[in-house]
Amino acid sequence: MNGKRIVLGVTGGIAAYKSADLVRRLQDAGAEVRVVMTRGAQAFVTPLTFQAVSGNPVHTTLLDEHAEAGMGHIELARWADTVLVAPATADFMARLAHGLADDLLTTVCLATAAPLVLAPAMNRQMWANPATVANRDLLLFRGVRMLGPGEGSQACGETGPGRMLQPAELAEAVMGNAEKPMTGRKVLITAGPTYEDLDPVRFIGNRSSGRMGFAVAEAAARAGAEVTLIAGPVQLATPAGVDRRDVRSAREMHAQVMAAAASADVFIGVAAVADYRPADRAPEKIKKGSGGMEIGLVTNPDIITDVAALENGPLTVGFAAETEKLEEHALDKLSRKRLDMIAANRVGLESTGFEVGENEILLLSGNERKPLGRGSKHKLAELLVREISARLNGKEGIETRSNQDS
């Protein structure tokens, strides 16, 4: 995408030396780059370096007397198509998560309407610290995109997650110049929970933040697909290029999915759909009595089974959220519902699953298994979409249902 305008924020980490190479790679891909440096970043690399490689003045101060009306942060915020912060230190992530605007870079991030992308870089213990994890999850919840971090040896001598991704990887992810293997494909995705009303106040439902499904929708759209996202009640920003349709109950989600499934190439059922709903919905709030309360439940329609049963239907990918016997239960669901693929993940853990930014996925199909590993939901979504694309395009990968049945 030539002509893309990128504000590159550089913060005070040792990985700042890589950001000069990142500027060059972004420009080679057709971007115009303007650099904003924090005071800490200037301790590692001089502004003159970035001015030389970018061909533009480097911005370092909040109150810029040379900017129009002295409001350089507003000019940069309006100018940018994307704001990329690489490296993004633990300190910067903390300040951004808590809404501070105490320097030029944080102010630009708060003032821009452009997508915000962070490339974290820090010691592995800092990355794993509960405070950093909470800040990361809050930023992800607000729609900030995280690229990395990678794993490997670090400047401090330790080994583990926390390395900034290589400039080539970041440039490819931000510019979107990589091959779009799902161009021309229609992808239908469900995300979030469903709520089954008991009365006008109470409901039953499953726990789900919707983050994994939204990440899959974003990854599919970036891969070139035409994406329709059927979302349960969640408070998440709609990914760019995605057609979102909001629903509340399992029956509403079923109706929307079945109306669109016949024309889809792929269906990915990420939503945590309630298996049951109250047999009767009270018209008024049920008052608390002195004794217990019995609720009659009836079965909801099985969305993914109905999609998989369609004649000439889409390639169907399910999710299995399990608290025990992960692979055993996932394989049972794969076979029983006649799915093409299933992504199995453990839930009930503090570090992965519900309402956190990370997950761990085992991808299964027939006799094939492929661990996608542990990482951010955005990273795993990209890996999953890559695998699905390989099946659609007939490349090497896990067998599809049609191969199993032959």
Residues annotated as catalytic are 156
What is the secondary structure of 196-231 as a DSSP string? EESSSS-EEE----SHHHHHHHHHHHHTT-EEEEEE
What is the secondary structure of 233-247 as a DSSP string? S---PPPTTEEEEE-
10: left (phi over 0), alpha (psi -120 to 50) or beta: beta
| Cβ atoms 164, 138 nearer than 8 A | no
d(CA 12, CA 6): 19
| Cβ atoms 231, 210 nearer than 8 A | yes
Which contacts of 124-133 are long-range, i.e. CB under 8 A and separated by 24 or more positions? 124/154, 124/158, 124/159, 124/160, 124/161, 124/162, 125/158, 126/90, 126/162, 127/90, 127/160, 127/161, 127/162, 128/161, 129/90, 131/94, 132/90, 132/93, 132/94, 133/356, 133/357
The DSSP bridge partners found for residue 319 are 343
- How would you write 138-176 as a 3-class SS string? HHHHCCCEECCCEEEECCCCCEEEEECCCHHHHHHHHHC
ω into 301 cis (within 30 of 0): no
Backbone angles phi, psi at 29, to 5 degrees: -85, 0
| Cβ atoms 269, 303 nearer than 8 A | yes
- The SS3 call for residue 376 is strand
